Amino acid sequence: MRIKDELELKEYDIEPLYGQVSKIVDNARFNAFKQVNFLQILTNLLIGRQIVEDEQQGNVRAKYGKSILKKLSVRLTERYGRGFSVDNLENMRKFYLKFGDRISESVLRKLEKLKSESMLRILGQEEIPYKLTWTHYLILMRIENIAERDFYEVEAYNEGWDYRTLQRQYNSSLYERLALSRNKDSVLQLSCQGNVIKRPEDLLKQPTVLEFLGLEEKSEYVESDLEAAIIDKLQAFLMEMGKGFLFEKRQKRFTFDEDNYYVDLVLYNRLLRCYVLIDLKVDTLTHQDLGQMQMYVNYYDREVRTEFENPTIGILLCKENKEAMVKLTLPPDANIYASEYKLYLPDKKLLQDKLKEWLEEADCM
């Protein structure tokens, strides 16, 4: 190769070509993963269906179901290798019982007799009924409340949660915390549409769970300790706060009458198109704290926000919330909210009982 050719080749910018080829490869691999994942789920569904049908053929099969699964596991493992343990077969059975009604029995009977390509072709004209991975569904199957299960499935798909995030959100009782912050109609909406952000109230959870900060419960914390921990785990904090949050600044200073004031955290919510100011309180909430937040919100509304943005929201994250005092102190149209924070995962059973009691009271009203 001539020196001139070598120089031209050396100077050639490979990045545009590399970018286009990489995009093709990534798309192909993603589509292949989606197809393989769906075929795995469909296969597990059909196996689960076959197990259930076998059990229903007589009392003997039902009585010795576990032993039959052990024998089936041994035979399948001998032929196909790993993936057919008794626990896995039991999960396939549960999956069919909880999620099998999304495909009609007539279609399932056709799918049992077809090769994988034909399976996809038969379902290709319809919306795919299982959009998450098998690992996601292993978590979802453990949720008995159908409305709660549907909520986590919708949110996991809409927000692109991996299975670890799904597990964390379930462990943190996200469904119950959101439900307790809404009216009954909005609770029913959660299971169908997930958490839709339309109003400032839709951002709230009771309580806000900050267990990912790794802080122990102790009385000598000050606000700066909590703030520093949040900044260190900012991505996790924004996810806990909810959808559409962007971080702008910590300890935002503004001055008037020669006095300096500081907002602990300034966020922006792109869905509501407004600033969200957060103050951290490690003690019981007081009316002075509410008055201070009202001043911060007023300042942002008058001096910072543009005519294209919605009114500023103020949130006080406090160790102990006084709901009666908040209602008495703030006017009904105030854009200020208080939410307790917890440094540990909440008692799911306690929140479930509280939600059940709340829904029963709503029915009586």
**Domains in the chain with CATH codes:** 15-130 (no CATH), 208-345 (3.40.1350.10)
Return mean pLDDT, the chain.
Answer: 82
Residues in the chain: 365
Percent of the chain with pLDDT over 70: 85
The answer to whether residues 129 and 102 touch, using CB atoms and an 8 Å cutoff, is yes
**pLDDT value, residue 314:** 94
Instruction: Answer yes or no: is pLDDT of 273 > 90.
Output: yes
Amino acid type, 172:
S
C-alpha 206/C-alpha 217 separation (Å) is 18
The answer to whether residues 316 and 329 touch, using CB atoms and an 8 Å cutoff, is no
**pLDDT value, residue 98:** 92
Lookup result for tokens 């393989």? 36
C-alpha 27/C-alpha 144 separation (Å) is 36
The model's pTM:
0.74
What are the tens digits of pLDDT across the range 137-176? 999 999 998 889 999 999 999 888 999 999 999 998 888 8
Instruction: Answer yes or no: is pLDDT of 32 > 80.
Output: no
C-alpha 118/C-alpha 190 separation (Å) is 35
163-167, 218-222, 280-284: which range is least confident on average? 218-222
The answer to whether residues 303 and 277 touch, using CB atoms and an 8 Å cutoff, is no
What are the tens digits of pLDDT across the range 106-130? 777 777 666 555 555 655 555 678 8
**pLDDT value, residue 349:** 80
**pLDDT value, residue 246:** 93
Q: Of residues 311 and 62, which shows the higher confidence score?
A: 311
The answer to whether residues 50 and 98 touch, using CB atoms and an 8 Å cutoff, is no
Mean pLDDT for 85-91 is: 93
Sign of CA dihedral 266, 254, 307, 331: positive
Sign of CA dihedral 188, 192, 195, 199: negative
**pLDDT value, residue 94:** 93
Mean pLDDT for 291-301 is: 91
Instruction: Answer yes or no: is pLDDT of 210 > 70.
Output: yes
Instruction: Answer yes or no: is pLDDT of 313 > 70.
Output: yes
Tokens representing 152? 């986590």
**pLDDT value, residue 197:** 80
CA-atom Rg of the chain in angstroms: 27
What phi and psi values does residue 194 have, to the nearest 5 degrees? 80, -160
Q: Coil, strand, or helix at residue 30?
A: helix
Strand order through the sheet with 208-209:
208-209, 336-342, 313-320, 274-284, 259-269, 245-256
Mean pLDDT for 305-316 is: 93
The answer to whether residues 285 and 207 touch, using CB atoms and an 8 Å cutoff, is no
